[in-house]
Every structure is written in C-alpha cells, then in structure tokens.
Amino acid sequence: MIVAVHSILHRHGLISPQASDNATAWQRFEHAEPNALWQIDFKGHFETLRQGRCSPLTVLDDHSRYNVLLHACGATDTGTVQACLRQAFERYGLPVRINADNGAPWGSPREPGQVSELAIWLIRLGIRVSYSRPHHPQTNGKDERFHRSLKAEVLNGRSFHDFAQVQAELERWRVIYNQQRPHEALGLATPITRYRPSARRLPNTLPPLEYGPDDTVLRVQSNGRIRFKGRRLRVSKALYKLDIAARARADADDIYEFYLAHHRLMTLDLNQPETTP
C-alpha cells in the first residue's frame, strides 16, 4: 500500500525531486585514494592564559582520515595558513584538491564567488580548490567529526598557559588518533595504515601561468576588473596584475568562461544584458 501511494504521488507531481533526494538513505562517501581530497578548517577558538586566543588549524585526508596538519594558531589570516600548509606540503606532498568553507581566508565572504589570495596560491600550485555549500557543514563532514573528537578528548575542561602547551597536547593526541586508535569508519583500522604521502612535490617557485593558443589572455587591473568585448567585468582584487584567460564555450555561441590556470572563475553570456560590476 505504501509503495502504491508513493507511486500515485509521484505520478501527479506531488513529490518534488528535492523531496526524493532528502528521503534517500544517507551513504558514506570517501575518495578512492589518499590525497585525492584534503578537508581544511579551523576548530573554533579558545583563550589561553598568557597568549590570548588560539585557533587550531586542521587538515584531514578524505580517504584515510589521516590528520596531515594540526597546528595551534594565534592568527587565522592568509600568511598563517599558508605557512602551515607549506610545512604540510613539504612533508606529505600536494593533494589533488582541497575543500574549505566559504569563510576567510580560503573564501571571500564579502564577495562570494571571488577567489582569495590563499586560493590563488593553491591554484597556482596545481591544486584544485572547492568550497562547501553554504550552511552545509557535512560537505567537510570528516573534518567536522575530527573536530568533535578533538574537542572531547583534548580541549573540553582544559586550560592552557600558551600555544606551546597547546601544541604539545595536540601532537600527543595526533599520534593516538593517526597511529593507535582503531577507526570505526575504516573497519577498525588506523588512519596511518591507509595513508601514504603524495608523489606530487611542492615546487621551489610558483609555475608560470600558461594558457592555450585560442585563449584570450587578460591582465587584471587594480580594482579587480577586466575589459572583454566591450564589457567591464569584476573578477577579484586578489588577482591584481595576474593574467587570466577568456575561453569560448565550444557548445554555445557568445558564451565565454574565464580561467586562472585550471580554475574556472566565471561565465559570461554576451546574449544577456550587461550589469554594472
């Protein structure tokens, strides 16, 4: 009877595709290989007695749940995150992709859709950058789960004198998490048994930006804008003095996509009226 009623509701369009998706049983997903995806985020913040606010930066490998970075940070700016990631890249190599939320410093919350300085650095290293859907923290669900364990087993009910003490506790627990404690989602294996460093090494210098012979190469101005086919377009102020490429869509006339290296920045449809950037 339940199946029959469900079929009737579908036949009359009374169950939307979104409702069907929401009712679908949840399935755990993981990438097939280590370093296919890293998830990155800060684990909130707390006060230390001598050095003020501390924000642990965490990076988790999606396939193995291996924690590749756990660092007690005072600042949460681009320079701090870049320095921490550089250490992780030197130790473990480069991932294929990094996923973050839309907040600073990885995203541009004041200008949604525009790349940040940190994202540009990652893209130029050949790393694909993606962002969680707004209000959907489950996109970075493995790192969120890692944060809950970190809070429960290290941070709750504790006070710390300074960042050095925090870091010592983080390192102690990281060994337990990565190497000793069985992980239910891994069939009671430990993350270290499923992780291996990436073969892609961190280059000494950023590679030059190169585009195809059919691309139109454009230099971004100080206001984060470009001019293309009579249009004024805003891309990102963080792209100032960098070259991006306009590429015609092969499957549609008068539609162009704009790229920084491999990363698609935006799409322009010349059939649509111009809007003031």
pLDDT at 92 over 70: yes
Is the pLDDT reported for residue 66 higher than 60? Answer: yes
Q: Identify the pLDDT of residue 31.
A: 83
Does residue 25 sit within a domain?
no
Greater confidence (87 vs 12) lies with 87
Task: Give the residue, 237 or 19, on which the prediction is more confident.
Answer: 237
- If one compares 161 and 103, the residue with the highest pLDDT of the two is 161
CATH code: domain of residue 190: 3.30.420.10
CA distances from 162 to 24, 54, 173 (A): 47, 9, 17
Q: Residues 265, 164: one domain?
A: no
In this structure, what DSSP letter does residue 98 have?
E
**Two structure tokens written together for 21:** 């998706």
Statement to judge: residues 69 and 117 lie in one domain: yes
Percent of the chain with pLDDT strictly greater than 90: 73
d(CA 105, CA 101): 10
H helical segments located in 125-162 = 141-150
Going by pLDDT thresholds of 50, 70 and 90, the confidence category of residue 156 is very high
Mark whether 141 and 190 lie in a shared domain: yes
Q: What is the mean pLDDT of residues 252-264?
A: 96
pLDDT for residue 17 is more than 50: no
Query: Per the structure, how many domains does the chain have?
Result: 2
Whole domain around residue 123: which residue ranges? 38-194
Cα distance between residue 186 and residue 215, in whole Å: 45
- The pLDDT-based confidence of 201 (bands split at 50, 70, 90) is very high
Count of C-beta atoms within a 10 Å radius of residue 136: 10
Q: State whether 242 and 117 are in the same domain.
A: no
171: number of CA atoms within 13 Å, CB side? 6
Instruction: Report d(CA 110, CA 108) in Å as an integer.
Output: 6
**Structure tokens given for 222:** 């100080």
Residue spans of alpha helices (H) in 130-277: 141-150, 163-175
Same domain as 137, residue 47: yes
pLDDT value, residue 120: 97
Answer yes or no: do 106 and 140 share one domain: yes
* Cα–Cα distance for residue pair 80/211, rounded to 1 Å: 31
